[in-house]
Amino acid sequence: KNQVEQSPQSLIILEGKNCTLQCNYTVSPFSNLRWYKQDTGRGPVSLTIMTFSENTKSNGRYTATLDADTKQSSLHITASQLSDSASYICVVSADSNYQLIWGAGTKLIIKP
């Protein structure tokens, strides 16, 4: 069964600190992995998209990694800001269909 699991479920850190969010998946055949940011009450916004051959991809203070062998990904946020408070969702695309498999997300709270 295609699944995406994320940890931790929620995380609270102080402004300026770094953090790393984890994603494990069992989606086959794998096509690509995406990280989305979803602010409360709004639609998801794409941060990164990585294919099988990509190990790391950055978007400003966000850096995503992918290990296709262990089927794990991480999202590292550097020098967190209050505006980083949101849910971060790992999404995996299978090559065989139109569906994206969504994780439940990690709720990140940045405190001043």
Partner 1 sequence: NAGVMQNPRHLVRRRGQEARLRCSPMKGHSHVYWYRQLPEEGLKFMVYLQKENIIDESGMPKERFSAEFPKEGPSILRIQQVVRGDSAAYFCASSHVAQRGGQNEQFFGPGTRLTVL
| Binding region for partner 1 (CB under 8 A) | 4, 31-32, 41-46, 49, 51, 89, 93-100, 102-105
CA 61 – CA 37 distance, rounded (Å): 13
CB of 103 to partner 1, least distance (A): 6
Residue 70 vs 98, nearer CB to partner 1: 98
Instruction: Please tell me what DSSP assigns to residue 83.
Output: G
Residue 10 vs 81, nearer CB to partner 1: 10
What is the secondary structure of 9-46 as a DSSP string?
A: SEEEEETT--EEEEEEEE-SSEEEEEEEEE-TTS--EE
CB of 92 to partner 1, least distance (A): 11
CA 62 – CA 74 distance, rounded (Å): 10
CB of 62 to partner 1, least distance (A): 16
